[in-house]
Structure 1
Amino acid sequence: MGKKMKTQMLLVLMAFVLILSGCNFNSSEGTSSEGTEGEEGKASQVLNVSETADIPTLDSTKAHDGVAFTVLNNVNEGLYRQDENHQPIEALATEHTTNEDETVHTFTLRDSKWSNGEPVTAQDFEYAWKRVMKDASPYNFMFVTASIKNAEAIMNEEKDAEELGVKAVDEKTLEVTLENANPLLESLLTFPTFLPQNQAFVEEQGDQYALEAENILFNGPFKLVDWTHEQGWKYEKNADYWDAEAVKLDAINAYVVKDSTTGVNLYETNKVDRINLSSESVDQYKEDENFDTILEPSLIFLRFNHNHPVLGNKKVRQAVNMAIDKESLTDVILKDGSTALNGVVPKGFFQSPDGEDFRDLNGDFNTGTVEEAQKLFAEGLKEAGATEVTASINISDSDDHKKVAEYLQAQLEENLPGFKLEIKAVPFAQRLEIEKAIEYDISLSSWGPDYSDPMTYLDMWLKGGSANRMDYHNPKLDELVSQARVETDLAKRYDMMLNIEKILLEEDAAIAPLYQDGSAILMRNKIKDLIVHPTGASFSYKWASIEE
């Protein structure tokens, strides 16, 4: 073995040891369920999982990423939560009544407590929801989607946040007024942006609220008892949770593991119970009894800065779409169950009133040969007054993002002469901030559905919307979204949504969809009832357990 190879092996080993020690894997708290027993010979109810990124924030009014949503879903409780079959069930709401036209909803709250012993009240919901609108939360559009009265006017700065249609009638009664009847309301209320907050505690913490485990209150199945940034966090069962009898796990250790090789090593040494596999590991483990692939309704795509002098050209964006062999990306590079996608709404999850899949109805957009891509690219460059373009791609510093970015770099530079792509990898939270500031050329992005309806992929492109993040605007799209939000004829509404996607991709080629995400996982078969949701927060640990 050469000196260079020995040095590389030593560095990998040192990094692995540092991760183990930094995350306290060798402590009694980090013991895996495999081969361990708790009291009276029963399996230890301690689950160990890996996460690819740290939590950016646990402030439910500011959270806008899958990692935070999963944590919030397990440490807090709203009016509704998703059950084992991904359907909304009453959580803190014990009774839900409406007026005749279903525009006024009244919720009666059950007895429950915050982790500081104070009761959870209707005022906690009113305060948190109005705070979402007051502070221009990244997910304030959810209140518009839910049709809550005055939400859109508040977003447009036409009304004050205090005029939002939510009111604490008394400690146990919450009244929510809508602009119009909305059949999606209960599903939307499972989303973390609709969680309550204790006003006195939030204001006492000030700008430190929800940045550390001790700076947040809990009222859900678990409490967060430790959070070491960029290393991991620990949940413990919340004995004061109203439905504590349903919670079987005593603790969950979540470890930030960005390197897939390290993840495999941790699984093989019984330090974690569930990991996502990289493409390099799929062939090795695909016959393992604990191996599985999951096709998810998540979209992986390229955002373009529409202010860029060259990328702002539609033909250039079309050329980028066409120049990428997406099937090879999913089948040869990723190999994790992901599938190529040429639309913004994924396949297999959203059906029309007639039972037809959204993707089948609208077909593929911006597909073509490399030669067609090159022709469009040349025309686009000429229209932009350029002869070549050097662009950077903003990515998270994870293995999968780096692998995808390197593939895109090779494809675009080979298939579009004059295109040079530079890769800029940053921590996950920083990537999101760069996107929000639109300080990028191209950004490798992902979007998981917030609720079970195609609109969750379509209204994110509204002018000035917090999910837009690229200064894209088409007034026709905005108008169609507004119409679809109040349309009660389901067939007409579905046609509107099909046309919204056509505007985004056919008329404007505003983004470049790449693939529908899939996950290749290893999870020990002793882990039971760990619920993976296709929409909203990804995981529910409330019903999970470990068998002997």
Structure 2
Amino acid sequence: MKKVKIAIALFSVLLLLAGCTSAKQGSGTTPASTESPSAPTASAAPEESPAAAKVLNLGKDVELASMDSAIATDGLSFEVIAATTEGLYTIDENRVPQLALAEKVDLSEDGLRYTFTLRDAKWSNGTPVTAKDFEFAWKRLVNPETASEYSFIAGVAGLKNADAIIAGEKSFDELGVKAVDDKTLTVELECPIPFFNSVIAFPSFFPVNEAFLKEKGTEYALTPEALLANGPFKLKTWEVGGTTFYLEKNNDYYDAGSVKLDGLNYKIIKDTQQSVLAYENGDIDYVALSGEQIASYQQSPEYHSVLTGFLWYLSPNQKVPGLENINLRKAISLAYDKTAVVDEILKDGSIVADFVVPQFLATGPDGKDYRETAGSYPSNNKEEALKYWEKAKAELGIDAIELELLFEDTESATLVSQFIQSEIETALPGVTFTLKSQPKKNRVELMYNGEYEVGLTRWGPDYNDPMTYLAMWTTDNPNNFGKWSEKAYDELADRVSRGDLASKPEERWEALKQLEAKVLEQAVIFPVYQKGNAILIKPEVTGVNLGSIGGSISYKLADKQ
């Protein structure tokens, strides 16, 4: 089991979104190169690194987009921010929030007021971490001038006035957070939030030193010199858009004695063949496998296959003529063979997704995983798909329709998109899909701006509750790419999140299932698969810890013999 836990930790690093393709699940601020770099060598680490240093070499298939906790939206950015900065909580390997920079917390009887007492900690420039750093960061998150695409998460956390501030109805200074003194932070909620401790462990809620940010101005978070760290590591080398970057141990971290590694060396290698070559050469300590590579290595003791929390799905833009028609959407959703996607294309332990909320995300009041008692939905049925297409043609007054399928330029996304294109065009005569490949950052920006027709995208959990997925399809959620809207859905989602059902666990759980059923019955999205990962990992690597939520991958206790 030890090897399996390590594998889960390291490989899941490759895929982390917010969602997580979002909340913004995979966006970023730097275009990804469309060229595959040659396999890097171990010399990519800084020259000043000790020859005998314990450095973990990590392979990634996307560039580091942003180190600003209010601006970042993609998994890799959240991962690196979480390696360099701590918030009030962290998430452990069992998906349970644990106190981090908060030494203790008191909760009022009505569940509306949290009082946090901070531990002694300091930034990498020697200044103390204070409650004011949290107040400043949280208000900056919702400040319209910041233009954070993750500002909505303050409302998800139930912070007092957050939604009104985001809607432009109140000033960001009215947010329900206050530094009483250097060590005391009070947080006021509009209603009790069942998952509050989990959601504020997300990087968007990490502290920011106001004086340092103002000193750096527009350069803040764009270079290692324009960043501070209070976590296990600090950024040593990085250029926006670069193919390598390096984190070194932060000796100013309050628990630096527990950190065994001297550094984390990241290398961006988009081509999987080159990644495997780098692994075989000893230049990286783990590698993601795909396609035929998996069969070649399945008997290796270094091979592991694990299921992650990422849901990949097709998002139809309902502002595009034709896609507002539910019968056309249902036709497309049933027209491709998901089993072939996972068994013949990916071959990495991914499973068919006939759902919105993945396996192993959250446990209900009955002690069971959500998926154990939630409903199942049709996977693919090409005969039914054709019937829906005939209905759609009659309703729309068309005989054919051409749609564009947007996807990112990774190998797996390309192969899956090509297969789905072929499946749909074969099953639905008259439906034509053209393919549009873009770097990940561009793909996400296009979807956020509504400049797409159908997009292949993903979402990773920001906190351990089904609402981290189901909230996406409320009317004003920025991750509701397809712009589907239903008043009854919004109202039930609000009751579940902060209304009368928030304090009724059993009723709330059943309402969550109703929300999921609605998304699938209305073909709001077309699920494809829950991501599995096939990896090779060096046996000398131990101690990497992954909670399956947000940026909770932790290298703090990692070691390399």
TM-score (normalised: structure 2): 0.89
> How far is 1:204 from its partner?
3.2
Structure 2: runs of 5+ lacking an equivalent: 1-34
Aligned to 2:162: 151
Render the CA deviation track for 1:129-180: whole Å, top value 9, x for unaligned: 0111113522223222222111122233322221110001111111101112
Instruction: State the AA in 2 paired with 1:529.
Output: G
Looking at structure 1, the residues matched to 112 and 44 of structure 2 have their Cα atoms a distance apart, in angstroms, of 53
Aligned to 2:513: 498
> How far is 1:512 from its partner?
0.3
Aligned to 1:248: 260
Aligned to 1:260: 272
> How far is 1:461 from its partner?
1.2
Looking at structure 2, the residues matched to 475 and 141 of structure 1 have their Cα atoms a distance apart, in angstroms, of 19
Looking at structure 2, the residues matched to 198 and 504 of structure 1 have their Cα atoms a distance apart, in angstroms, of 41
Share of identical aligned residues, percent?
A: 39
Name which of 411, 416, 420 aligns with 1:408: 420
Contact 1:83 1:89 in 2 (8 A): yes
Whether 1:477 and 2:489 are equivalent positions in the alignment is: yes
Instruction: Report 1:300-319 matches (<5 A).
Output: 300-319=312-331
Q: Secondary structure at the match of 2:123?
A: coil
Looking at structure 2, the residues matched to 102 and 500 of structure 1 have their Cα atoms a distance apart, in angstroms, of 25
Instruction: Report 1:392-403 matches (<5 A).
Output: 392-403=404-415
**In structure 2, do the counterparts of structure 1 residues 347 and 89 end up closer, same or farther at CA, with 3 Å as the change threshold?**
closer
Instruction: Report 1:131-142 matches (<5 A).
Output: 131-135=140-144, 136-142=147-153
Contact 1:79 1:93 in 2 (8 A): yes
**In structure 2, do the counterparts of structure 1 residues 381 and 203 end up closer, same or farther at CA, with 3 Å as the change threshold?**
farther
Looking at structure 2, the residues matched to 161 and 390 of structure 1 have their Cα atoms a distance apart, in angstroms, of 45
> How far is 1:201 from its partner?
2.3
Q: Secondary structure at the match of 2:385?
A: helix
Contact 2:316 2:454 in 1 (8 A): yes
Q: CA RMSD in A?
A: 2.0
> How far is 1:470 from its partner?
2.1
Name which of 23, 26, 43 aligns with 1:26: 43
Aligned to 1:532: 546
**In structure 2, do the counterparts of structure 1 residues 368 and 113 end up closer, same or farther at CA, with 3 Å as the change threshold?**
closer
Whether 1:194 and 2:205 are equivalent positions in the alignment is: yes
Instruction: State the AA in 2 paired with 1:502.
Output: A
Looking at structure 1, the residues matched to 44 and 531 of structure 2 have their Cα atoms a distance apart, in angstroms, of 34
TM-score (normalised: structure 1): 0.91
Contact 2:338 2:380 in 1 (8 A): no
Aligned to 1:461: 473
Instruction: State the AA in 1 paired with 2:134.
Output: F
Looking at structure 1, the residues matched to 439 and 221 of structure 2 have their Cα atoms a distance apart, in angstroms, of 19
Q: Secondary structure at the match of 1:525?
A: coil
Instruction: State the AA in 2 paired with 1:297.
Output: G
When structure 1 is superposed on structure 2, of 532-541 and 417-426 the one drifting more is 532-541
Aligned to 1:511: 525
Whether 1:47 and 2:61 are equivalent positions in the alignment is: no
Contact 2:45 2:265 in 1 (8 A): no
In the alignment of these two chains, the number of paired residues is 521
Name which of 100, 104, 112 aligns with 2:113: 104
Q: Secondary structure at the match of 2:66?
A: coil
Structure 1: runs of 5+ lacking an equivalent: 1-14, 39-43
Instruction: State the AA in 1 paired with 2:297.
Output: Y
Contact 2:160 2:189 in 1 (8 A): yes
Looking at structure 1, the residues matched to 396 and 140 of structure 2 have their Cα atoms a distance apart, in angstroms, of 43
Q: Secondary structure at the match of 1:472?
A: coil
Name which of 539, 542, 547 aligns with 2:556: 542
Instruction: State the AA in 1 paired with 2:150.
Output: Y
Q: Which one has more relative contact order, counting CA pairs under 8 Å at least 6 apart?
A: 2
Contact 1:31 1:271 in 2 (8 A): no
Contact 1:310 1:381 in 2 (8 A): no
Whether 1:436 and 2:441 are equivalent positions in the alignment is: no
If you compute each CA radius of gyration, which structure gives the higher value, 1 or 2? 1
Looking at structure 1, the residues matched to 47 and 459 of structure 2 have their Cα atoms a distance apart, in angstroms, of 32
Render the CA deviation track for 1:77-119: whole Å, top value 9, x for unaligned: 1111123443222111112112222211111112222222222
**In structure 2, do the counterparts of structure 1 residues 192 and 68 end up closer, same or farther at CA, with 3 Å as the change threshold?**
same
Looking at structure 2, the residues matched to 301 and 467 of structure 1 have their Cα atoms a distance apart, in angstroms, of 13
Looking at structure 2, the residues matched to 316 and 31 of structure 1 have their Cα atoms a distance apart, in angstroms, of 59
Q: Secondary structure at the match of 1:371?
A: helix
